[in-house]
Structures are given as C-alpha cells and as structure tokens.
Homo-oligomer: A and B are copies of this chain.
Amino acid sequence: MVGRKEIAQLAGVSKTTVTRVLSGEGAVSKETQEKINRIIKETGYTHNVIARNMAKRRQSNMLALLVPDITNSYYTEIFSAMSNAGREYGLIISVYNINQTNVDEVIGEVIANRAMGIVNMGLVPITHESLRRVESANIKFVYTGIRNKEPFAVKMNYYTAMKDVILRLKENGCRSIGFMFGMKENLLHDNKVKAFKEILLSCDCKYSDKSILLGKYPSKSAVLTGYLKAKELYADGIPYDALFCLNDMMAIGAMRGVRECGHRVPEDVSIVGFDNIVMGNYCEPPIATIGYNIQEEAKAYVDYCTGNLSAESVEVVCRFIPRASIRGVQ
C-alpha cells in the first residue's frame, strides 16, 4: 500500500506539502496541488486516519455508545442517527452492551482505545474509579440514564406527554393503571416513574406501591421482561386495565403475554410504551407510545462530544403518539 512518502517522491515535493493538500490547511500553489491530487488518485493512496489521530490528538475518532439492551431497536435508531450526525466529523460510533458485571471492563476497553467520547445510556452505576479514569483520559462523558454528577446530560421531560396519555386513558374508562418497570435498583434514577406517580396523584387516580410493576430488565431483555411479567400478572384476571411499559420493546412483550392469557388489547387492557420505535407501528395492534426526536437527541450527543455544544444540558421534547393499543383510538 502506497504511503505519503511515495506520493511525495512521485510529485517531487516534501511529505509536508502532501499533508498540506490532504488536510486542506496551509497554502499550496495550485499547480503542485493539482499534481499531488492527480498522483493521489492514480496511486489509490488513502490517508491513514489512525496515524493522524495519534499524531494530532492522541485520541481516536471513535465515540462509544453504551446501551443496556442491544436487542432494543430504539438503540439501533439512536446509533443510526448518531452515525449520520457523526459522518461529517469522520466519527465512528461503536456500540457496547453493558451490564452490572461488565461496565468497568468495557469502560477500560473504551479508554484503551482512546475514544473521544462516551455516551452512556446504560442503567447500571459506574464506579468512581472508572469515572476518574475517563476524566483523566480526557474523554467526554454524556449520561442519559443513571446520574453520576457528570458535566453534561440530556434530559427528557416526560411529564406533559405522560399526562396526555393518562387523561386519555381516564376518559376511556381505565380505572387501574400500572407501570411496568425493570429492576428495583433503577427506580431511584427514573424520571418516568416519578412523573407517573405525580400525575396519577394529581389526576385523582388510584396509586399505590402496587402500581409499579418490577421486572428483570435490563438483566433480561426488555421484550422478554415484558412478556414474562404480563404472563405473571394476567394469568387469572385483569389487575390493571392499562399499562405503561418502560419502553416499546417491553410493551411488545407485554402485549403478547396479555394475549396468551386470553385477554384482548386494547378492549381489556390498554398498553402504551416509550421510544416510538419503528416496529411499534407494525405490531398488531400498533402500539401507542411516547416519542422523542431521535435525530435531535443523537445530534446533541455528537455535538457535545466533538466540542460543538457548549450548553450544560439539552432538553428533549416528548410527545404522545396515540395508536390502537389503547382504548378509544382508531
């Protein structure tokens, strides 16, 4: 494979001059510029990004995306949007599935690869030791899930959208609304559940400890968690006539579980998820959800990690997307 040296020789100039036309910085005469470009094309030379990263910033062009459940297509959509947003900077997004046991190992690997940033959507706490290492490696860190006193965060304001849902459910005769969640450990950090409680109370709806339904997510996948929990809950009766699910994948699983228990969605049970994943629209029935602007969210991550965003946090707007999985929607 031909390198910068060879093309410098062929063009009869120094390596530095080649660098200049490659990077577009520094003045080079039109003539030599054209000559060099021609030779680059002829030889099929491709600049070496890893060497450049090494020399220029001592960091790679990689951005690590840490997710709790890689089978959840929401994260695929985020990944895809981040890839697009990162293209202009030549970023590479790499996705890591993290859990309680592998977080610190994964973060170690990310540091070893000198990522320029970490977007943490995971649902497990990270040790201070790891965070210290991240910081000292000068790696940007974004959290979206569990709070860690980090400098930058993307905040979702679920309140309004969730209130829309609950009012709609109430209008259509739902009396007992549950929230299907994951493992207890994450309750403290969760804004959805917090909003859920506040809204139910402010709307004179029934609320108790039993309104929050715990499951094994994220140690099991969301869809499986939803399925298993629904089978357990609805085996002999209909304890909740409406169900919020932590995300659409869980809602899909829950819907199947409810059905297998012989109940109908939405006639017996209304179901609503979060994330507005594409698949939600193809289910039978299509799943009502709370959606956000994924492009915007992804862009915020990328912009922050590349240093093109100075704000301390970004707030993403959420909206209710009614579909046939809840009563009263055609």
Contacts and interface: CB of A to CB of B under 8 A. Distances in A.
Interface residues of A, number: 55
Interface in A233-276: 252-253, 255-256, 259
Interface stretch (A7-15, A69-77, A168-176, A303-311): A69-77
A252 B282 contact: yes
Nearest to A139: B1
A112 interface: yes
Interface string A200-230: 0000000000000000000001010001000
Contact of A113 (B50, B108, B136): B50
Interface in A63-122: 70-71, 73, 76-77, 79-80, 83, 90, 92-97, 108-109, 111-114
B284 A136 contact: no
A166 to B, nearest CB: 26
Contact of A112 (B47, B54, B70, B252): B47
Contacts of A76: 70-71, 73, 76
A108 to B, nearest CB: 7
A188 B114 CA distance: 44
A51 interface: yes
A50 B48 contact: no
Contact of A282 (B73, B79, B109, B223): B223
A167 interface: no
A54 B58 CA distance: 12
A61 B114 CA distance: 12
A47 to B, nearest CB: 6
A278 interface: yes
A93 to B, nearest CB: 7
A283 interface: yes
A293 interface: no
B136 A50 contact: no
Contacts of A92: 62, 94, 113
